[in-house]
Structure 1
Amino acid sequence: MFVRPCWQPKSPADIRQIIDENPWALLVSQSDAGPLATNLPFLVEEAAGDHSVDELVLVSHIARANEHLAALRENTTPVLAIFEGPWSYVTASWYPERQMPSTYYYSAVHCYGTIEFQEEPELDRSLELLVNSMEASYSSGWKTSEIPRSEITRRFAGITGFRLRVSRVEAKFKLGQDEPLRDALAVADVLGRHDAPEHRKLAAMIRDQNAGRE
């Protein structure tokens, strides 16, 4: 991924936030027939420190009927998980003097690593982690204990759990850091007034990543 120095996030915590808040990612790997890609949920299983990206381990699962799984079992090269954070098209009309071309502001994290397949007890724990994490934002969130245990375990035959042990992380926060500060902040002001939460979140990221500039 092409990342100018100014687009580097300010801290590992910024990278972890993108992963934690945007778990629906794209897994990409190589096969004899060419590249394969599957959209999957990924959660952080463990890392060195609360916000570190060193020794990061992600967990997910994939349908056994997916041809991508067979390719992953045979693959010997690193795979890639792509996490996409807040983004927006930025029209030049938002700039004070409309003197800059229109562009996109966005954030993305690329995690490269190797796959380790889980045994059934590990898959069970990972699914519980996924459900608890996803349901936490709902006031009356669902729990696996609400249905018979057999309704959970019978589905194990159709999926395979795995870990992605991350060896390299690339992150790009293209948020106007290479533009005049007043232009970047003008974009943040427009997005900050938007109804969509993701646009307001992007506005906060723009202000944070441009803090300290003159």
Structure 2
Amino acid sequence: MYNVPHFKTSDSDEVIAFMHAHPFIMLCGVSENNTPVVTHVPVLIEQRGDKIYLLAHVMRKQDHTKAFEANPNVLAVFSGAHTYISASWYGNKQSASTWNYQTVHARGILKFLDDDGLLNIITKLTETFEQNPASPSLVHKMEEAYVSSMMKAIVAFEIEVTDLQHVFKLSQNRDEKSYENIIEQLGSKDSEAKEIAEIMRKRKSKVYPS
């Protein structure tokens, strides 16, 4: 991970909020043959005391599933909007252009769960992302035979997070005038650039406290 003090936040709640806002992760691991594997899954983030857990499910008998069975050490990558930043927007033009982005890396130990754990997770996942208590797609509203059949093809897991790192690279190392100009320039670009501009605007008081 790109680890520079400028691009960190001291607010741990901001990091957790970012994870909740971007729950579709890349889950990376290494097989018993030292082959890298990665899969993409939505996760639930739970805080239990001072520990953080990620909960999800994957299909059985896949390369990544076999890898996680052999080696439970995994890395979950949470990603947000990102955009190009031109050095022409800085007060000092003799600088390198760059890329603004936010990401959180959560390392941890993956543990597969039993059928009760699987039912609990698919129920919570559906409720969380449906956001509609009347939805016919909620697990408890589906036929039991269908749910039972579906569960045979998937397996649930939870990851106990053992290390949490982040990069919020949002031009915090620039002077205030350049920072404001970057926001203005991004406001005329695509949707991801506009999103980064809005994040920078909201964080400005933290970067340049009065």
How far did residue 21 of structure 1 move?
Answer: 1.0
Residue 108 of structure 1 corresponds to 103
The one-character-per-residue Cα deviations of 1:47-85 (angstroms, maximum 9, x if unpaired) are 43xxxxx41001011110211111111115x31000102
176 and 56 in structure 1: CA distance in 2 versus 1, 3 angstrom threshold: same
Residue 42 of structure 2 corresponds to 41
Query: One-letter code of the match for 1:17?
Result: A
Deviates more, 1:66-75 or 1:163-172: 66-75
1:204 aligns with 2:198: yes
Question: How many Å separate the matches in 2 of 1:26 and 1:195?
Answer: 24
CA contact (8 A) 1:192 1:200 kept: yes
How far did residue 30 of structure 1 move?
Answer: 1.4
5+ residue gaps in structure 1? 49-53
Report SS of the residue matched to 2:173.
coil
Query: One-letter code of the match for 1:211?
Result: S
Residue 14 of structure 1 corresponds to 14
Question: How many Å separate the matches in 1 of 2:96 and 2:136?
Answer: 45
Query: One-letter code of the match for 2:56?
Result: S
CA contact (8 A) 1:44 1:57 kept: yes
TM-score where L is the length of structure 1: 0.85
21 and 138 in structure 1: CA distance in 2 versus 1, 3 angstrom threshold: farther
Identity of aligned residues (%): 25
CA RMSD of aligned residues (A): 2.6
Query: One-letter code of the match for 2:43?
Result: F
Question: How many Å separate the matches in 1 of 2:77 and 2:203?
Answer: 21
CA contact (8 A) 2:122 2:139 kept: no
How far did residue 95 of structure 1 move?
Answer: 4.1
